[in-house]
Amino acid sequence: MTVIFLHGRDGSRHLGFLDEKFGGNFNRVKNLMFRNGGIYISSDFANFEEEGRKDIEALVSHYRAKTSGKIVIACGSMGSFLCWSLMKNKKSNSMIDAYVLMGGFPDPDFLGSGKLNVPAGKKPIYFAHGSIDYVYKWQSVYDYYSKLRAKSLGYPIRMALYDGGKHGTPVRMIDWRVALNWIAKQ
């Protein structure tokens, strides 16, 4: 398995390698990947728009050939823009097996119009969110999650809600073993 972490606004590739920050959770995912013969990448990209999507697509394309298991894109906060952009791009999405959104938001089209589209290929989505997130409200994520489950029975989607958790809580609290084992079984 390959896990590629995409930071949020004001972050950089260095964020995903800070062993002390976020309760050591980046250290946990790095060790989990190392112990299981996987790859962990924390990447920079040009921006949160099309140029950034192309950067990550090129990275995924390079590692697709080196990965016998699944490729998982884990997006923190504003990195969710890239998760959704990758998911909606046919070429990008065809190389990616699952998405993890930590403190992120539901599909921007859903937020803007309330219209729900089932993501192509039914790639697993794992949401992790804090119940008192002041940046992206958990209710919109939960609404998307619930509606997708109702519209597309059996869609592989999960949501972990951290009671009393703020915006950075999911990055600190996500249980990588649980999330990635669930993804591996999809």
Residue 111 confidence (pLDDT): 81
Residue 12 confidence (pLDDT): 61
113 or 4, greater pLDDT:
4
Tokens matching residue 71: 């490729």
Total structural domains within the chain? 1
CATH value at residue 84:
3.40.50.1820
> pTM of the predicted model, to two decimals?
0.94
Residue 24 confidence (pLDDT): 76
Q: Which residues contact 152 (CB under 8 A, 6 or more apart)?
A: 118, 122
pLDDT band at 149 (very low <50, low <70, confident <90, very high): very high
Domain hosting residue 84, numbered range: 2-184
